[in-house]
């Protein structure tokens, strides 16, 4: 009977021993405290390490916990497990170590399970909505950060400026050739799956700037605009040489700024030009104007306002007949007593003059004498 009891104990003892193994990945501090050499402080240290580094990949990893060395591990290795299987043998341990190393090469510690890196959240920093000068090259920049605040210089930055132009790069230049409002879209992509975009409202306006004077002192620029103008990388040209205006150079609205000859180092000339960064001319000195001469406009207006040659009171039919009718001979004499137009004051005056009446009397007397003598 005793022999049968001992045989049964020998058969079921390994099962009881396996059931008593403590899972160091799930056990609480009270259960860990029951292990040899593990007190309350080391039990707490095991849980803290587990929370910070993830579950133990193998039982040997418990030696990474502060205060647990090889001697303590030797006392507890037969009493602990990391899962539902018993502690591996020495042969299985080598195989497990090799497999674990292969599956965790992408992790930082080499002992924790593989990390699944989430798609990064990207944040784009730009200059925001802005007003630029039409025709001028304007810098556009974008800085990219991930959700942890790390700068992502590896990001691919693509700009679409809303006027048909597209450029690639974190820092680019673009010119809007005509005034108007545009939507510029900057898109960011990263190799680890990050993707983000940002819209910017760009207002392009003509730059009301001119060269007000050129002298030995330098070149003076006048900003007649209602906004501050950014002249970054614009150029001054005079005497066959150019001076590039430094970045972030601005002129306040309604102000004049002198660029001294000691700084620009340009030969003095009677003419000068202000150029956009692209080289296009923004202003010249002396200024040129394409307006029509004022005298020509005045003459045109006078012609339009002139009265017609024939006024409203003129009888056009009578006028034509007067022009077409044959002219009477100059030596013709009106018959005596002929009716004359009342409104012909000049003819009436001649007929009533003393000379005409005297001549008429002589002619009557001569005719009478001719009749009597016959």
Query: What pLDDT score was predicted for residue 117?
Result: 63
Q: Are residues 162 and 128 in the same domain?
A: yes
Q: Are residues 165 and 221 in the same domain?
A: no
DSSP, residue by residue, 199-264: EEEEEEE---EEEEEEETTEEEEEE-SSSPEE-TT-EEEETTEEEEPPTT-EE-TT-EEEEEHHHH
- Among 95, 64, 63, 60, residue whose Cα is nearest residue 81: 60
Burial 52-64 (b: 16+ CB within 10 A, else e): ebbebbebbbbee
Burial class (CB in 10 A: 0-12, 13-18, 19+), 339: exposed
pLDDT digits (tens, 9 = 90+) for 39-98: 888 888 888 888 888 888 888 888 888 888 888 888 888 888 887 544 444 433 333 333
Residue 306 lies in a domain: no
Residue 109 lies in a domain: no
DSSP, residue by residue, 46-72: HHHHHHHH-S-SSGGGGGGSTT--HHH
Of 186, 205, 224, the position where a domain reaches its end is: 205
Of the pLDDT bands very low, low, confident and very high (cuts 50, 70, 90), residue 374 is: low
Residue 127 lies in a domain: yes
Residue 87 to residue 83: CA distance in whole angstroms: 9
Which of 268 and 100 is assigned the larger pLDDT?
A: 268
| pLDDT of 1 above 60 | no
Per DSSP, 296 falls in state H
Of 205, 240, 261, the position where a domain reaches its end is: 205
- CATH no. for residue 251? 2.60.40.1260
Average pLDDT, the chain: 74
Its sign, for the CA torsion 26, 30, 32, 34, is: negative
Q: Are residues 95 and 128 in the same domain?
A: no
- CATH no. for residue 65? 1.10.150.280
Q: Are residues 190 and 234 in the same domain?
A: no
Which of 15 and 97 is assigned the larger pLDDT?
A: 15
pLDDT digits (tens, 9 = 90+) for 299-355: 444 444 444 444 444 444 443 443 444 444 444 444 444 444 444 555 555 566 677
Residue 316 lies in a domain: no
Q: Are residues 214 and 201 in the same domain?
A: no
Residue 294 lies in a domain: no
Q: Are residues 278 and 213 in the same domain?
A: yes
Distance from chain centroid for Cα 216: 38
Residue 108 lies in a domain: no
Of the pLDDT bands very low, low, confident and very high (cuts 50, 70, 90), residue 140 is: very high
Question: Mean pLDDT, to the nearest integer, of 345-374?
Answer: 68
Residue 206 to residue 77: CA distance in whole angstroms: 81
Per-residue CA distances from 334 to 329, 340, 348 (Å): 11, 9, 11
Residue 291 lies in a domain: no
pLDDT digits (tens, 9 = 90+) for 199-227: 999 999 988 899 999 999 999 999 998 88
Q: Are 233 and 242 in contact (CB under 8 A)?
A: no
Of 69, 103, 137, the position where a domain reaches its end is: 103
What residues contact 363, with CB distance under 8 A and at least 6 apart? none
Q: Are residues 266 and 216 in the same domain?
A: yes
Q: Are residues 276 and 217 in the same domain?
A: yes
Q: Is the whole model's pTM more than 0.85, yes or no?
A: no
Domain around 47: 2-103
Query: What pLDDT score was predicted for residue 356?
Result: 72
Which of 181 and 319 is assigned the larger pLDDT?
A: 181
Q: Are residues 83 and 176 in the same domain?
A: no
Residue 212 to residue 230: CA distance in whole angstroms: 18
Q: Are residues 11 and 69 in the same domain?
A: yes
Question: Mean pLDDT, to the nearest integer, of 120-128?
Answer: 87
Residue 262 lies in a domain: yes
- Among 117, 112, 116, residue whose Cα is nearest residue 52: 112
Q: Are residues 12 and 78 in the same domain?
A: yes
- CATH no. for residue 172? 2.60.40.10
The CA-CA-CA angle for residues 73, 78, 84, to 5°, reads: 115
Q: Are residues 129 and 168 in the same domain?
A: yes
How many structural domains is the chain composed of? 3
């Amino acid at each position: 009977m005793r022999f049968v009891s001992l045989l049964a104990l020998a058969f079921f003892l390994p099962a009881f021993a396996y059931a008593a193994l403590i899972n160091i990945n799930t056990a609480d501090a009270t259960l860990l405290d029951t292990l040899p050499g593990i007190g309350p402080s080391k039990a707490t240290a095991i849980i803290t390490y587990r929370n910070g580094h993830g579950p133990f990949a193998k039982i040997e990893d418990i030696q990474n916990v502060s205060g647990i060395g090889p001697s303590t591990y030797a006392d507890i290795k037969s009493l602990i497990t990391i899962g539902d299987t018993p502690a591996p043998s020495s042969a299985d341990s080598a195989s497990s170590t090799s497999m674990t190393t292969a599956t965790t090469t992408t992790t930082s510690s080499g002992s924790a399970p593989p990390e699944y890196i989430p798609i990064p959240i990207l944040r784009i920093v730009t200059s925001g909505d802005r007003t630029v000068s039409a025709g001028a090259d304007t810098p556009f920049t974008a800085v990219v950060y991930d959700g942890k605040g790390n700068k992502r210089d590896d990001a691919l930055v693509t700009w679409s400026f809303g006027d048909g132009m597209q450029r690639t790069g974190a820092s680019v230049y673009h010119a809007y050739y005509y005034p108007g409002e545009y939507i510029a879209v900057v898109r960011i992509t990263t190799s680890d799956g990050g993707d983000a975009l940002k819209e910017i409202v760009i207002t392009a306006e003509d730059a009301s700037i001119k060269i007000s004077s050129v002298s030995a002192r330098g070149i003076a620029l006048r900003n007649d605009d209602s906004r501050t103008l950014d002249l970054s990388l614009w150029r001054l040209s005079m005497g066959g040489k150019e001076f590039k205006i430094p970045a972030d150079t601005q002129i306040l609205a309604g102000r004049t700024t002198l660029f001294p000859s000691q700084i620009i180092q340009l030969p003095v000339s009677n003419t000068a030009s202000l150029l956009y960064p692209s080289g296009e001319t923004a202003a010249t000195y002396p200024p040129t104007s394409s307006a029509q001469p004022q005298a020509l406009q005045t003459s045109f207006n006078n012609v339009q306002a002139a009265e017609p040659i024939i006024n409203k009171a003129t009888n056009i039919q009578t006028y034509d007949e007067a022009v077409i009718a044959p002219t009477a001979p100059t030596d013709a004499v009106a018959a005596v007593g002929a009716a004359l137009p009342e409104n012909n004051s000049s003819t009436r005056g001649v007929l009533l003059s003393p000379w005409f009446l005297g001549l008429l009397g002589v002619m009557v007397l001569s005719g009478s004498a001719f009749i009597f003598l016959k």
